[in-house]
Structure 1
């Protein structure tokens, strides 16, 4: 069974009319999500409520036009509420606006000096701990609003005052707030068709409608429309300027990190153009500068709105800009509607938003990587002190964990069951600090037994090397048998180089029996890798949750896990001749991956020197032959090449031959086939250039394969 060739127009970019329609529809969906969130974040920040809408308008339009992440949507974010609330309480609103504008100028400077790459060095445990601390603080403070009171500043104060708030609970606001929370928790569990309207909008709208007949429930109070809310910041405040500059730096750093993390997440959701992080900082800085000048909250890239934008089918940055225009129209024309919203409904919305910032997956990830202490320390610092000091605590703990790992190697002896050698396994970083423990362990090995010393280390300094070399030499001199293996480095301290990705013939003696190489590989796996990978496989024994499906060629030189550095459970892999989306087996794999495993990404990978592409160019076997029947599914790729497909033009211009150009075009054509099937996953095209061992990524906007960044 083969897939019918796609029409020629499937290779061309989407029509402009379709793109405009998709962006308009996506912008409306994001607008419906952004309005209640913007109002709620302003409430949690202690700022005028209209400041949230001002920031949403400026973030959508300015960051949407100037930012480096086309499908990212910017606006006020929960991650900055704690910082802004502290500054409003300390300096007042107008000075806080000045701080926001100054932070924007710093972000522009960050982008101009190309500092974005350094944000990648911040450990995820610190970032996730920071967001969790912010989430807990928001939830605790807004719980007071749900109960009919005012939000205290800081998590500690909110927790201390909570018993009093419970004692003086106001029934009306409490019912409105709890109803909002209940609807938000229930909404994701409803059938998919019922969830077409965003849950945030449904909850706030429904509770507002139910609360209309009741008086005595505090509601949003606005002094006027969006235009009347525009206020200029204080230019020369009579406050400590060192504290003001510190606030600018804090907002600039937190907003930059949150925007860049959101940009990375957005890139993973679609197969379109990738982010330019330095341009993203410039766009975010321009938005924050203008937002501060106009009296708005700080702006960042917001993952909730951005993911909604991608899921709603946005194709260009126009969707983010349009969503900002809709919010501006709403804030000017429909102020009376906003004033009907109960404050407790916004408080309930923020309680759920805050709780959702504490993600169990982040905690599991920190624990799996041995960084749970870093995560918890950051959370505690944010809750007990403030955001900046909490992040500093997290970074210090991350440094201490790194030093602890660098100074400690894990050394263990594995006694054999039978005639196999004794195994001494050394893991981690083996430095001079670990030599005493290593020496004690080696002394425990009997003198007359064969020993296999396995160095599974990422660092081996001269002192540790010298100690091992001397111990090995002494043991061999006394007639003992010692084998030293260092996966990825050397076969013995004084032996030849053994590369981690060597072929069978490079690390074993040649045996001409057909099954010998495979059996030798299995034996080496049991000896070197089985115990190391066993904990991972135990966790996968009852199910899988791969991060994507990779369709690549069956060519023996294309190793999916090698070129993606993936491990067990990471990829659902399908290989066939020519990486074609054809045949029952491929369609079944696609259905299983998307409908059962729910993979978020499907990647198609071609490669240089592909025999299937060469066969197509040479005329391929006649139909009726099994190989000929199969390759008929690739005829559309050959036709696209001869019709001057843009990918082919770029490939020829870059000096690639006809086989390589066809392999690249074939990737683009197979992606078009997948789009025609309307698969529920992001798509990506890859190309493995065997002579250079490089993997290129298809830039679908430019229709060109480029080096992976």
Structure 2
């Protein structure tokens, strides 16, 4: 990979940020454009088919509606591919945002006596503020500092999020939510990880064996098909199979469907969502700082991590991704995506890897993915609402299982006991407390200990000399 030569002043960076045809398009030439367009189209199609069930699942796990995930993934990819700094990155809903957005909706949405629209408006507000901060950070060249976050904390954070996703979606797979919805009771599993676990343990007598079957079937089919080939849209095939079974042989087994919880899925995706502010209080000021900080952190770290991974996976030997432009692109995503019925998105590691393996070369793959995803969702909306909730839970557990990589854990272990202990600490604290508390406390401990260790080393050298 050739050495990067990016602008070094705010004015020059801003000029580059609004340059559409930059180094991200250097692999597209007059001689190869037919081949490149075909490869990007194929990659976009594969990712679009994989992304629909995942986007719906992420949105529902956040406390939002299925169509919010569909529009967020498509719009974020268009904006991110236009203003971002990576050739290959696929933008969309990611697991890292689930605890952040779920916490906001739990506190300000229907679960706490509020209204969904008001909570969504508040999410739009904090996302816009986070977007502005990201843009300023990109303009002033702060993007490169995201690389300073230690690998041990990133891996621990990823493991913690995976554990939280798997455990907080057990309601769908166990069919406990199905029981409460069908019986009109208020025993649904809502809230944080510990609340969900306690509620689940207290409702095990109400589990639905057929929901468990569909959840495990979805998980197994998705994982098995994608092991055979990434060109097989495992999630959508598993989703189709589970939906067919629930509509035929399992029709009378009390399996709850997406429409039973969310009603019909509309296909008028582009609906403006205005920012709004809840009633003012001291706690609200803290919440604004918390959610803005969380969105900035997830956006910055995950987008840089994903961009770095994409360059390595694609064996990019030409211009690498631009971290400052990536921050700017992330800012644009967080400002505009939530305004049109969406929510904060960032670089999606799994979908980016799938896109590259499927042959993606230029940002065109992202545009194809967005358009094809919207077209499929538009014509399939009436069928998407027939998906069993257990199927959505199975897909999310599959996502969680892919987030924990044994090879990464082994790499951290080889770095030493301190790095390994920080990984374990972060992995435990993220699901047990909350996202920002877990990560920030880990960062503080990490850099304080490292600083004390360096001082001790310097003092030892002075005494030795």
Q: TM-score range by the shorter chain?
A: 0.7 to 0.9
Aligned equivalents of 1:345 and 1:390: distance in 2? 30
* Residues 1:384 and 2:432 aligned together: yes
Q: What TM-score comes out, normalization by structure 1 length?
A: 0.54
* Residues 1:138 and 2:186 aligned together: no
Distance change >3 Å, CA 298–CA 369, structure 1 → 2: same
- Give the counterpart of 1:75 among 63, 82, 92: 92
Offset, 1:188: 4.6
Q: What TM-score comes out, normalization by structure 2 length?
A: 0.82
Instruction: Tell whether the 8 Å contact from 2:139 to 2:324 is kept in structure 1 after alignment.
Output: yes
Give the corresponding residue for 2:378. Answer: 332
Offset, 1:400: 4.4
Offset, 1:96: 1.7
For the aligned residue pairs, the C-alpha RMSD in angstroms reads: 2.0
What are the equivalent positions in structure 2 for 1:652-667 lying under 5 Å apart?
Answer: none
- Give the counterpart of 2:235 among 193, 196, 200: 200
Deviations 1:314-356 (A, max 9, x none): 1210110111111222233321121121111011110121132
Give the corresponding residue for 1:44. Answer: 61
Give the corresponding residue for 1:482. Answer: none
How many residue pairs align between the two structures? 403
Deviations 1:636-686 (A, max 9, x none): xxxxxxxxxxxxxxxxxxxxxxxxxxxxxxxxxxxxxxxxxxxxxxxxxxx
- Give the counterpart of 1:266 among 307, 310, 313: 310
* Residues 1:212 and 2:239 aligned together: no
Deviations 1:244-301 (A, max 9, x none): 2331121111121111100000010122542011111111211121111112121100
Give the corresponding residue for 1:235. Answer: 276
SS of 2:437 mapped into structure 1: helix
Instruction: Tell whether the 8 Å contact from 1:106 to 1:249 is kept in structure 2 after alignment.
Output: no
Instruction: Tell whether the 8 Å contact from 1:184 to 1:352 is kept in structure 2 after alignment.
Output: yes
Give the corresponding residue for 1:281. Answer: 327
Instruction: Tell whether the 8 Å contact from 2:265 to 2:385 is kept in structure 1 after alignment.
Output: no
* Residues 1:171 and 2:217 aligned together: no
Offset, 1:308: 0.8
What are the equivalent positions in structure 2 for 1:505-654 lying under 5 Å apart?
Answer: none
Instruction: Tell whether the 8 Å contact from 1:97 to 1:295 is kept in structure 2 after alignment.
Output: no
Aligned equivalents of 2:258 and 2:103: distance in 1? 22
Structure 1 residue ranges (4+ consecutive) displaced by more than 6 angstroms after TM superposition: none
Give the corresponding residue for 1:60. Answer: 77
Offset, 1:229: 6.5
SS of 1:334 mapped into structure 2: helix
Instruction: Tell whether the 8 Å contact from 1:125 to 1:362 is kept in structure 2 after alignment.
Output: no
Aligned equivalents of 1:396 and 1:241: distance in 2? 23
Instruction: Tell whether the 8 Å contact from 1:44 to 1:151 is kept in structure 2 after alignment.
Output: no
Aligned equivalents of 2:267 and 2:278: distance in 1? 25
- Give the counterpart of 2:454 among 391, 403, 406: 406
Distance change >3 Å, CA 252–CA 325, structure 1 → 2: same
Task: Specify every segment of 5 or more residues in structure 1 that has no aligned partner in the other structure, as ranges.
Answer: 1-11, 409-428, 435-460, 466-709
Instruction: Tell whether the 8 Å contact from 2:52 to 2:377 is kept in structure 1 after alignment.
Output: no
Aligned equivalents of 2:66 and 2:126: distance in 1? 18
Distance change >3 Å, CA 228–CA 52, structure 1 → 2: closer
- Give the counterpart of 1:367 among 406, 413, 416: 413
Structure with a larger share of its residues in helix: 2
Instruction: Tell whether the 8 Å contact from 1:377 to 1:397 is kept in structure 2 after alignment.
Output: no
Deviations 1:520-578 (A, max 9, x none): xxxxxxxxxxxxxxxxxxxxxxxxxxxxxxxxxxxxxxxxxxxxxxxxxxxxxxxxxxx
Higher relative contact order (CA 8 A, sep 6+): 2
Task: Specify every segment of 5 or more residues in structure 2 that has no aligned partner in the other structure, as ranges.
Answer: 1-28, 109-118, 178-187
